[in-house]
Amino acid sequence: MKTIEEAKKHFLEGGYVAGMELQPNFVVSSKSDISTGKNTFLTTEIEDLLNENIHLKRYIARDIIESLYFIFLILPPYKGEGVDWKEKKVLKRNLKWLYLYISISNCEQFTTATKQEALSIMATEILRGVAKYLSNVKEFKYELFYADLERLFKEHQLI
């Protein structure tokens, strides 16, 4: 078994150490009802698309955000039981992680959508969430980020 110091040295030399991976620029996940089906798993495709094509540091004046989380709320209308998830923005300052909780407005449409339609819904909702929550964040180049997201989604025929 390696000591912590040995593991850090191994990692810094390019070796793999479980749990020491760098956090990606973008993480895309969801809070969903069990009935939402397989389309919820398409979040990994959007996440890969973002991480392969956009670098978050380009849009940040200071080192305030290292990872941006898009968490889709793919839930039927709240009926008074369980957690009532709402759209919101949460910054974990100590980790430099920004969470954007974004609702998929029509859960049933998303659940029954084809793969391409579901990806399109997610892309559209990301753009809406970015406009809602990042347009007034100081030291964040919102216009440039939005334009790059929009261009990327158009290139991949998602919007």
Write down the pTM of the prediction: 0.83
For 130-139, how does the pLDDT look when each residue is reduced to its tens digit (9 = 90+)?
999 999 888 8
Residues 145 and 147: their CA atoms lie apart, in Å, by 5
Nearest CA to 140 out of 40, 66, 42, 32 is that of: 66
For 58-94, how does the pLDDT look when each residue is reduced to its tens digit (9 = 90+)?
998 777 888 999 999 988 777 777 777 899 999 998 8
